[in-house]
Amino acid sequence: MLIPGKSYEIEVWVYQETGQDQQVTLTMQRKYASDDQSHYDTIVWQRTIPSNKWTQIGGSYTVKSGETIKEMLFYVESPNNTLAFYLDDFVLIDKTIPLFEPEWEIPDLYEIYGDNFKIGVAVPYKVLSNPLEMKMVEKHFNSITAENEMKPESLLVDLNSYKFSVADEYISFAQSKNFDVRGHTLLWHNQTPDWFFKDTNGNLVSREVLLKRMENI
């Protein structure tokens, strides 16, 4: 159903009746022929779903161009493992055909301000594989920042190893276009793996241990 190089809007209605707010996340499990294992791409992160009210949630997802899809599974999930919820009206919309053609004839922002400062933009990973959006990035900007792909949960495998494959794609693109890259971000209050704060027994580490781990990364 999904085609490499295309961007999609994914929407679904969710209902739960626990009597209190619950969190729901939309995730795509995907594996391309070039991947050695499955990856999990977050589409919507922990959206609040009130009790006894149908709530629509949705987000964008882009299938990387030039790839062969080996696996593509869509999840509606909650951090509450015992939560029972209902789904309705799932919608998948092809966004790669723009409703309006961008105004390519207008001046490039980075050239207008070239004597003053760089013009930067936050780029989600899905944009790297969307030709139309990348054309817009190249037209107006000369500096990029990864949206989530350089945050701790995206880079840290464990205390001694890292995964830079996605981050490297940002660097490769920037080098090919002579762009600057602003790192974002090895240390943050959110999107850090739970194990980073705990010892091998699952207990929270001391302030001193945590500071040392922050220094090491």
Write the burial class of residue 43 (CB in 10 Å: 0-12 exposed, 13-18 middle, 19+ buried): buried
CATH number of 104-217: 3.20.20.80
Q: How confident is the model at residue 195 (pLDDT cuts 50, 70, 90)?
A: very high
Fold assignment, 7-94: Jelly Rolls (2.60.120)
Mean pLDDT on 68-85 = 94
Q: Where are the domains of the chain?
A: 7-94, 104-217
Which residues are registered as beta bridge partners of 28?
Answer: 41, 74
Q: How confident is the model at residue 73 (pLDDT cuts 50, 70, 90)?
A: very high
Residue 99 has pLDDT above 80, yes or no: no
Q: How confident is the model at residue 145 (pLDDT cuts 50, 70, 90)?
A: very high
Q: What pTM does this model have?
A: 0.59
| Both tokens assigned to 2 | 């999904």
Alpha helices in the chain (DSSP H): 109-112, 125-128, 131-140, 152-155, 165-177, 207-216
> For the chain, how long is the longest CA-to-CA vector?
60
Q: For 148-185, how does the pLDDT look when each residue is reduced to its tens digit (9 = 90+)?
A: 899 998 899 999 899 998 999 999 999 999 999 999 98
Q: pLDDT: is 97 or 76 the higher one?
A: 76
- Residue 55 · residue 86 · CB < 8 Å: no
Q: For 18-59, how does the pLDDT look when each residue is reduced to its tens digit (9 = 90+)?
A: 999 999 999 999 999 888 889 999 999 999 999 999 999 999
